[in-house]
Amino acid sequence: MSESDDRTAFESAIQALEAELANAGVHVTIDAGAREAYVRQVRAMAAELRAQVARGELTWAQAASQAQETRNAIMNAIRGRSTPVGRAIAQRLKSEGKTLNELIARKTIQLFGPNAQFTQLPSSAQNRVYAEIVKSAAKANPEVTTTMRRLSRAGRGLLVVSIAISAYSVATAEDKAQVAVRELAVTGAGIAGGVAGGALAGLACGPGAPVCVTVGAFVGGALAAFGVDLFF
C-alpha cells in the first residue's frame, strides 16, 4: 500500500470518527430536548387544568380525570419525538400505572391518614384529593430529568469536538472548499445513517431493545459515513 493510500485510509477513518461523534451528540441532544419538552408540557398541562377549575369550566374531579388522560397522551407524543435509541429505552419496561381510583385511594391515605376513605370525605376534602392528582400529573421524575441534563451537556460536548475536528481539517486543507463539502456530507450522512440504522434495528429487534438499537445506530452511522466518503 502506497503512502497516498495510507493517508486516504487514515482520513476516511478520521471522517468516520467525526461522523460517529456527531451521530452520538445529535442523538443525545434530541433526546435531552424531548425530555425538556416533556417537563414543560406536563407542567403547562397541570397549570391549564388548575386555571380551568378556577374559571369554573371544570370540576376538580374532571380535571383529575383529564390530567391522567392528557399525561399519557403527552408521554406517547414525546416518545414519538425521541430518537430510535431514546424510544427503545423508554419502551424497555412495560408500565404498570395506577388507575384513577388507585390514585384517589393513595392520595386520600397520604393526605388524611391510613384509615381515611375517599367516599366518606366532605366534598372540599375530596376536591383536595383531586387537586393533588392534578399536581402529581405535573411531575416528571427528577432523577431522569437530571440524568438527561447531564447527558445533554455530554452530547453538546461531542458535537463541539466533531465540529472542531472538521474546522481543523478544513483550515489545514489545500483545497478548503472541497474538504468543507466533504466534511459536511460525511458528517450529515453519519447522522442520518445513525437515525436510519437505529430505526431499522428497532424494527428488527422489536420494541424495548436499546442495546440492539444503539448498535444499529452506530453501524448505520459508520456505514453511511464510509459510503459517502467513497465519493470524494
DSSP per position, 58-102: S-HHHHHHHHHHHHHHHHHHHHHHS-HHHHHHHTSS---PPPHHH
Query: 6: buried, middle or exposed (CB in 10 Å: 19+, 13-18, 0-12)?
Result: exposed
Cβ proximity to other proteins, 53 vs 64, nearer residue: 64
Q: Does 81 bind other proteins (CB under 8 A)?
A: no
Least distance to other proteins, CB of residue 147, Å: 8
Cβ proximity to other proteins, 22 vs 67, nearer residue: 67
Number of H helices, E strands in the chain: 8, 0
From candidates 3, 5, 96, 174, binder to other proteins by CB under 8 A:
96
From candidates 41, 91, 152, 166, binder to other proteins by CB under 8 A:
91
Distance CA 38, CA 34 (A): 6
Confirm if 204 and 88 have CB atoms less than 8 A apart: no
Q: Cell numbers at residue 151, please? A: 447527558
Nearest to 200 by CA among 217, 183, 186: 217
Q: Does 92 bind other proteins (CB under 8 A)?
A: yes
Stretch touching other proteins by CB under 8 A, among 56-64, 98-106, 176-184, 218-226: 98-106
> 42-45 long-range contacts, Cβ below 8 Å, gap at least 24?
42/71, 42/74, 42/137, 42/138, 42/139, 42/140, 43/138, 45/70, 45/71, 45/74, 45/137, 45/138
- How many positions of this chain bind other proteins (CB under 8 A)? 40
Cβ proximity to other proteins, 75 vs 223, nearer residue: 75
Least distance to other proteins, CB of residue 87, Å: 8
List binders of other proteins among 2-41 (CB under 8 A): 35, 38
From candidates 142, 174, 230, 231, binder to other proteins by CB under 8 A:
142
List binders of other proteins among 51-80 (CB under 8 A): 68, 71-72, 75, 78-79
Cβ proximity to other proteins, 55 vs 94, nearer residue: 94
Least distance to other proteins, CB of residue 135, Å: 10
Angstrom distances, CA of residue 124 to CA of 60, 104, 121, 128, 137: 10, 14, 8, 6, 20
Confirm if 191 and 84 have CB atoms less than 8 A apart: no
Stretch touching other proteins by CB under 8 A, among 13-21, 92-100, 162-170, 214-222: 92-100
Residues forming the site for other proteins (CB under 8 A) = 35, 38, 42, 68, 71-72, 75, 78-79, 87, 89-98, 102-103, 106, 110, 133, 136-137, 139-146, 148, 206-209
